Amino acid sequence: MMTFLIFVLLFFAGCGGSNSAETDDSWLFESSDNSVSDFSQDNCSAEEPSYERAAPPEIVLPQDFPAEYAGDMNCQLLPEPTDSAIFLGEGCYYGCLKVEGELKIAGEGSGKTLLFCNDAESSSAIEVKQNSIVILESLSISSLSRGLTLDHGASARIVGSAVYGCMKGGINACQSGEGCRSDLMVLDSYIGEMSDESDIGYGISFSCGSLNVKKSMISHLSSFGIGIWGEDTCKAEIEIEDSVISDIYGMLRSDDGLCFFAEGGALVSIKNSVFENCGRSFALFFSDNAEQRVSLSDFSANGINENEGEQGGIVFEGTVFAGLERVSIMNSKGYGLFSLGAEIVAEDLSINSVGSDGFGNNGFGLFLADGAVTEIRRLEIRAAERAGILADGLSRTEISDFEVSETASDRVSLEFGVGIALQNGAVAFLERGLIDRNRESGILVSGSRLELRDALIRRTMPRECSKVPAGCLFAPEVDFGHGISLYSGSEILLDETVIAANNNGLNLEASALAGNPGKIVFSNNVTAVNVWNVDNYDEISEKLGGSVFCGNSSLFTSDSQPLRGEIDNNFR
């Protein structure tokens, strides 16, 4: 009882002896830009938290991509080369070429000239043999097999052309064997509309060597847009710029429905480009031992298709090192961005609207798992499902200048809706940010450690199932609505932090306040602090003694509440 009285007296001292149940809600009226600076200090003497907002990417794409052939299919025989070149007029030409040495094929425009391979037994319309070179300009290419294949050491340059309507895919560099070292450039071109009758409808399949795609579109495919298979001793060097990959809808195999994926050793640069309407994921970067380095800048990913199956936005897994600048992820499923053991440095990252996948799982804006190392400056996450950020399993995260808001409860269980969640030994350092209008907990920490500085956590709402108790799978009678909630031996270091307009401002179970907390303001919460199942109340009361309390209905409670378990345990 004495410990309890000391704790309460220290709370009153922090409030200057005032504990009025009449709250001043004037701070709830937002400024026009919804910035942290709208916090009123009429009752609380505290510096306003401030943060820099993420800058969206500015993407300027070509206005018109090359068209498919628009003429009739009354084809004539392809003429023989003259001086290593074939010049074609308007119309359709049939033939299947094997290029040895050098060959240039030029037409009158992709909508006017068509080269059509009508032999299903041929590997492709144009087969570029080992160490040979082909240049294709201003024509369309179609085939009963593939559009173009490259052998070891082969090179192809495709300019102002369209590869479409092929039965087995668009362009394949090295169908078998290692050490391909081919070279492919696609400029001002279109690849798409592959037939899905053979269940293989991809844009570009590439092994090690150099691939450059600029000012081009890859679209309407049943398998994948671009697939990269790098090697330990022969990296794939990939550059995509000013381009679009869209409408990749298949889900038949593990790599179906991916706008882009890279496996193994690779150097990948994607600039000023858009991936949209992807069936499974926008992009997957994976390597289990070979180093893979990825750069995404001025990049937008928008829209995961309605498909049944496991889905995720942008995925980094394994020995992957990624740098992101001005990246926007919208309308994703499963994840916005997922890292499993990868290292990521990012600036100006925004993630908006992430729902659960085709199995009803996940729904995390940013998921950092098992050994992931992440450093982000300027991050915005809005309208994720279940959690805006989930850091799990010995991951280490540093985020400065951030906003996490409007996370929604799981559509099936009507639970969660957490802004930021740390679990299973995760460590996070968060500085300068706003956590606003999430559900259940603004920040949830379970068996993990958090350092939080210069932040505002406010308006955490009850989970949705509090309105419909029969729909709750966990603790149906408990509303939650905690600003910060710690469980199971967690630690938190707080400094210059405002916790306002929540149910419980700080809910602490079997956990500790680390170090010497800086200035903490508890304002307009129903209960400022709820502490239970701890060994030393005196230590907690001493550390909170210098805090500011104003407008809270009550200052301290010790009500036992259900222990919230893991949000996700797929990686245990």
State the Cα–Cα distance between residues 131 and 265, nearest whole angstrom: 23
- Cβ-contact 221, 247 below 8 angstroms: yes
- Cβ-contact 87, 112 below 8 angstroms: no
How much of the chain is in helix, strand and coil states, percent to nearest 5? 5, 50, 45
pTM attached to this predicted model: 0.91
**260: confidence class by pLDDT, cuts 50, 70, 90:** very high
Which pLDDT score is estimated for 47? 53
Mean pLDDT of 225-251: 92
Token representation of residue 408: 């929604």
Residue with structure tokens 């306003």? Answer: 48
Concatenating the DSSP letter of every residue in 264-333 gives SSEEEEEEEEEEEEESSEEEEEEEEEEEEEEEEEEEEEEEE-S-SS---SEEEEEEEEEEEEEEEEEEEE
- Cβ-contact 289, 262 below 8 angstroms: no
- Count of other CB atoms within 10 angstroms of residue 178: 14
State the Cα–Cα distance between residues 429 and 24, nearest whole angstrom: 31
State the Cα–Cα distance between residues 177 and 231, nearest whole angstrom: 11
- Cβ-contact 351, 382 below 8 angstroms: yes
Which pLDDT score is estimated for 178? 73
| pLDDT tens per residue across span 342-358 | 999 999 999 999 999 98
Indicate if the pLDDT at residue 100 is higher than 70. yes
| pLDDT tens per residue across span 177-209 | 677 899 999 999 999 998 756 567 899 999 999
| pLDDT tens per residue across span 307-340 | 778 899 999 999 999 999 999 999 999 999 999 9
| pLDDT tens per residue across span 125-166 | 999 999 999 999 999 999 999 999 999 999 999 999 999 999
Q: Which residues contact 32 (CB under 8 A, 6 or more apart)?
A: none
